[in-house]
Amino acid sequence: MGLGANATGLKIDEHARVQHVRGRAIPGLYAAGNAAAHTDVGPVYISGGLMSRGLLWGYIAGRHAAERAHAEPANAEAAGAAE
């Protein structure tokens, strides 16, 4: 029986936003858990660690996305009213 661990994935920033190969965040694209690359993975990394990383980075991504969604409609409405 093998472990369900993954030590590679998409590169993310401090908000769990996926990074383009040129280093900038891709708007609206987040990664957490197995989908994200973790630089702190060593030879003793086991599958139980996936749960905590998935929870932490999922929370970070969700919070950042919610903050952006909350801020953007006001800007969109203001832009529409100005036209």
CB 60 within 8 A of CB 15: yes
The CA distance from 57 to 52, in Å, is: 8
Query: Which two three-digit tokens encode residue 56?
Result: 């932490």
Q: Is residue 5 part of a domain?
A: no
Residue 83 pLDDT greater than 50, yes or no: no
Q: Is residue 25 part of a domain?
A: yes
Give residue 15's pLDDT.
94
> What is the Rg, in whole angstroms, of the alpha carbon atoms belonging to the chain?
17
Q: Is residue 37 part of a domain?
A: yes
Considering the entire predicted model, what is its pTM? 0.67
* Residue 21, domain extent: 17-82
Question: What pLDDT band is residue 74 in, cutting at 50, 70 and 90?
Answer: low
Q: Is residue 68 part of a domain?
A: yes
CB 50 within 8 A of CB 63: no
Which H or E run contains 81?
helix 48-82
Give residue 40's pLDDT.
59
Question: What pLDDT band is residue 2 in, cutting at 50, 70 and 90?
Answer: very low
Q: Is residue 66 part of a domain?
A: yes
Give residue 1's pLDDT.
41
Q: Is residue 73 part of a domain?
A: yes
Number of domain units in the chain: 1
